[in-house]
Amino acid sequence: TKVLQRTRDALDRDCVMPFYQPKVSLASGKVIGFEALLRWTDDSGLRSPGEIAEAFEDPDLAMRLGSRMLDRVVADMRDWSGSGVPFGHVALNVGPREFARDGEGRDLADRVLATLRSAALPASALEIEVTERTLLDDDASIIGPSLRRLHEAGIRLALDDFGTGYASLTHLRRFPVSYLKIDRSFVSQMLVDKGSEAIVGALIGLARNLGMGAVAEGAETAAEVAMLRKARCEIVQGFVFGKPMAASRVRHFLEAFV
Ligand code: G
Ligand code: G
Ligand code: MN
Ligand code: NA
């Protein structure tokens, strides 16, 4: 289809890259890391992953997109490390198709750990984000073992879009989840809708009681941040602190951030 061809073109032209959105600790007020978000470009400029959603369902293209993102993220972290940019960590989104074994029989954990090792970066520099759907898709039992090996190596796992899916809570306990990321749809309604406020509070409490951290996504205003602070949310990500930016802007962003 057109989407798949467009994705192939973008990969072949080396026009797929990560943008980075800051994550802020409410306790320290500091940037503790960034989420890597895929961006691609064509003649009309910067495009988002939603426009190539179909490619993430294609086994071959999903693997190519995933390995391009991993390579670029690790290269950016190596550059930042080398020049003393205190980026904290980078959280990489990984979809269900990206766990497959490659031509050399390596699974996601093999690829991630080898790539980090080749750049002499510690496992703590990287986080992995998956959605509930990815955990539910684990029919071949490849995802669970990969995530456990990554966890044992020191890579933290965050459950993305939490609250919007349909994973039962027993799922949470079968996987080594360190953070729950509270979906933007709740955070953006929190000030105007009592139900969303209650859900955000409940999810933060759930994370704490399970020994996990809570990350609120999509905060756009100081009032939302104040409410999240009151609800004892540890980490906030959203336009209020910064939009996704090119790797080349991260150093300046950190220097200017107060
Ligand atoms: O940045 P934006 O709002 O356009 O992202 C849209 C969606 O694409 C988000 O749900 C995000 O999780 C997903 N996404 C962003 N980057 C990646 C990536 O590198 N890999 C995968 N699998 N999904 C991504
Ligand atoms: O699904 P995932 O959480 O991986 O994707 C995050 C998406 O949400 C990114 O595409 C990012 O651009 C977007 N996003 C992040 N913060 C905000 C925000 O404060 N407001 C809005 N509208 N979108 C946001
Ligand atoms: Mn995410
Ligand atoms: Na999310």
ipTM, 2 decimals? Answer: 0.96
Closest C-alpha to ligand 1, atom 8? 49
pLDDT at 170: 78
The C-alpha atoms of residue 140 and residue 126 are separated, in whole angstroms, by: 25
pLDDT at 252: 98
226 vs 170: which has the higher pLDDT? 226
Strands 45-47 and 31-42: antiparallel
Residue 216's pLDDT band (cuts 50, 70, 90): very high
Maximum Cα–Cα distance across the chain? 52
Which position has the token pair 């490849």?
Answer: 142
Please tell me if the CB atom of residue 95 comes closer than 6 angstroms to any atom of ligand 1.
yes
Please tell me if the CB atom of residue 37 comes closer than 6 angstroms to any atom of ligand 1.
yes
Closest C-alpha to ligand 1, atom 15? 37
The C-alpha atoms of residue 92 and residue 135 are separated, in whole angstroms, by: 16
Tell me the CA–centroid distance for residue 22 and ligand 3, in Å.
12
pLDDT at 174: 87
pLDDT per position as a tens digit, 36-76: 999 999 999 999 999 999 999 999 999 999 999 999 999 99
The C-alpha atoms of residue 199 and residue 188 are separated, in whole angstroms, by: 12
Atom of ligand 2 nearest to the CA of 219: 19
DSSP bridge partners of 214: 180
Please tell me if the CB atom of residue 56 comes closer than 6 angstroms to any atom of ligand 1.
yes
CA angle, 247 as apex, 94 and 8 as ends, to 5°?
A: 50
pLDDT at 246: 98
Strands 126-131 and 156-162: parallel
- Cβ pair 72, 34 in contact under 8 A: no
User: What residues have CB less than 8 Å from 164, skipping those under 6 apart?
Assistant: 132, 183, 185
The C-alpha atoms of residue 100 and residue 106 are separated, in whole angstroms, by: 8
Amino acid at 220: E
Average pLDDT of the chain is 95
Write the burial class of residue 150 (CB in 10 Å: 0-12 exposed, 13-18 middle, 19+ buried): buried
- Token couple for 254: 């950190």
pLDDT at 17: 98
Structural domains in the chain plus CATH codes: 2-256 (3.20.20.450)
Radius of gyration of the chain from its Cα atoms, rounded to whole angstroms: 18
pLDDT per position as a tens digit, 92-142: 999 999 999 999 999 999 999 999 999 999 999 999 999 988 988 877 788
- Cβ pair 239, 216 in contact under 8 A: no
The C-alpha atoms of residue 207 and residue 184 are separated, in whole angstroms, by: 16
pLDDT at 166: 73
pLDDT per position as a tens digit, 152-196: 999 999 999 998 887 678 777 889 999 999 999 999 999 999 999
pLDDT at 36: 99
